[in-house]
Chain A
């Protein structure tokens, strides 16, 4: 299991957070309960299975919503 911390561009509406949460949860390989979208610090934290999913695919899902990804950190947990 990998833990990703993704820094996004500044989020301005709480519904953006909802959208990103929905997008992240819809990906196969993402541990649904672990998805946390931090509205004020504009970060996404989630755990995912790197056998099923790469971090760049998660990134792609978020950018497809129209949010820029600024920095990604992945740690093994």
Chain B
């Protein structure tokens, strides 16, 4: 019976609304006080049923909930034969709850979209070798699964056979499909755009990368900051306190109407719902834009950030070095380049790859007696010439004569932030190359936005030489640059800034910078949703798009503001109502309930604005 009544709450609300309409028709339309009164009594009884049941259930577990306050108030109104008030209050309370559900679902929709991207079924190979569709929960590690074109990969696994292209946007934020063949890794929640794959499950359910992202976001939307825990504790004592005050007022004034009005006005409505609503909408907006925010504490810290420190390679730069300057000291560049390419072809050093990318059309010679000099370069025999490729130290070791022109060129190259690669043939310098990591496009604009959002210091911390770091800092408009830093130096530096009272965020790739990510007040991992990044950082930017960073900062500021607005609205409404009970004539239970329900809707709608938040382009 209880369950039936609760499940028909919406119908009861509608019925009670109709009865109230009939009552007013009875009063105004056909002038029948009997109809007026009875319709209201029936409406009150219907409306009170679900509220009373909820109140009873709450009291059974020793919680004085809003339902308890409203139930007592309505019973009180009955007692003094104020049927009009009892009917309207129950109706407003139920109708408000209905609207709250509808609007709350909207604020939660962004995160729901994400969780609904989780795969729910898989084609699993049965013992007879045929593939059968099973629930995702029935898949365990080691199972062989079939993934067809257009389907979601159900687990994290390894490709056993077949090939295809997968859209991994749900994990990396990168929508360019990635080719997969035997032994490739595939991730749950990604989509096979074409081809067919048979995969072996390595990790299933919540253990998959996608499962962890979802779990993180879900926990984030319900995580509470210090202030919210305070509100929670406060509201636990608040409702019983309201009940007590109402009793005291009644005991002294013997005025039931005043006492029950206080009960209704004291409902904590907007206060308890305002902050969680802002939180969920803010985190939802982030999730839609590839920004994972780990909860409301992170939002508060990040919104107040003073200093953002960046790792250089892979964060400010693309992490893909290229030859940018070349100087020749030879009449016959073609053969020198083909010697150079022949030697570099054998190496998988990032600089060698950059060199190979710059020398395309060339012929290759067989290479003999290759000698890799650690920290120097490569020496080898090519076409009966001794070819040395490497840095200055290697040239000195090879006793290559560096003339004045070469020295000047080298100084100039270094000045502009290059790493030097020299090529000597038979002890004579032939080519000087300067290699640079490309700075991310538009980064200056995005850093400028961060400044406009109130970040005071933008610092690069890098293991590279100071010259390179200074140039990068100058080019993109950072305030400070520090080179020659080991990972632990970076985290010490951050700790020193924090000791000065600054709130520091660190942006890194999440792999080799974990000490700094952990040390900073806000660790921001950029690049992809890898496990390490999710574990150690507070904010994860799902792909390498730097523009998400200003959006993330703007969003946390907007969310923190939104929470503040909601608290002010909620507290303001309660103060306003209580003041009016004592100092005005027009205040009664129905108006109090109306104002309460409106204030709840106002805070929810205010929170909902965050879903549409976008950084204004400056």
Which residues on A are within 8 Å of B, measured CB to CB?
10, 12-15, 18-19, 22-23, 26, 38-41, 43, 63-66
Contacts and interface: CB of A to CB of B under 8 A. Distances in A.
Contact of A10 (B6, B62, B101, B219): B101
Contacts of B66: 13, 15
A22 B63 contact: yes
Contacts of A19: 57-58, 61, 63, 65
Given A12-B101, A12-B104, A41-B222, A66 B3 contact: yes
A22 B64 CA distance: 11
A47 B218 CA distance: 18
A66 B65 contact: no
Interface string B73-113: 00000000000000000000000010011001100100100
A7 B291 CA distance: 25
Nearest to A18: B63
Contacts of B602: none
A13 B97 contact: yes
Interface in B29-66: 53-54, 57-58, 61-63, 65-66
B606 interface: no
B63 A39 contact: no
Contacts of A43: 218
Contacts of B219: 38
Contact of B61 (A13, A23, A38): A23
A41 B214 CA distance: 11
Contacts of A14: 235, 272-273, 276
Contacts of A66: 2-3, 6, 53-54, 57
Contact of A15 (B101, B108, B272): B272
B67 interface: yes
B564 interface: no
9 contacts: A19-B61, A19-B63, A38-B218, A38-B219, A39-B222, A39-B276, A41-B221, A65-B61, A66-B2
A26 B53 CA distance: 19
Contacts of A64: 57
A5 B219 CA distance: 12
B56 to A, nearest CB: 10
B542 to A, nearest CB: 20
Contact of A18 (B65, B100, B276): B65
B221 A40 contact: yes
A36 to B, nearest CB: 8
B520 interface: no
Contacts of B235: 14
B153 to A, nearest CB: 21
Given A10-B101, A64-B57, A66-B6, A40 B276 contact: yes
Of the listed residues A22, A26, A39, the one surrounded by the most CB atoms of chain B closer than 10 A to its CB is A39
A30 B276 CA distance: 26
Interface string B558-571: 00000000000000
The 6 A-B residue pairs whose C-beta atoms are closest, nearest first, are: A22-B61, A38-B222, A15-B65, A14-B272, A40-B221, A41-B218
Contacts of B62: 22, 26
B280 interface: yes
Contact of B97 (A12, A22, A41): A12
Contacts of A10: 101, 104-105
Interface in B228-273: 235-236, 239, 272-273
A14 B239 CA distance: 13
A3 B273 CA distance: 28
A58 to B, nearest CB: 13
B222 A13 contact: no
Nearest to B9: A66
Contacts of B280: 40
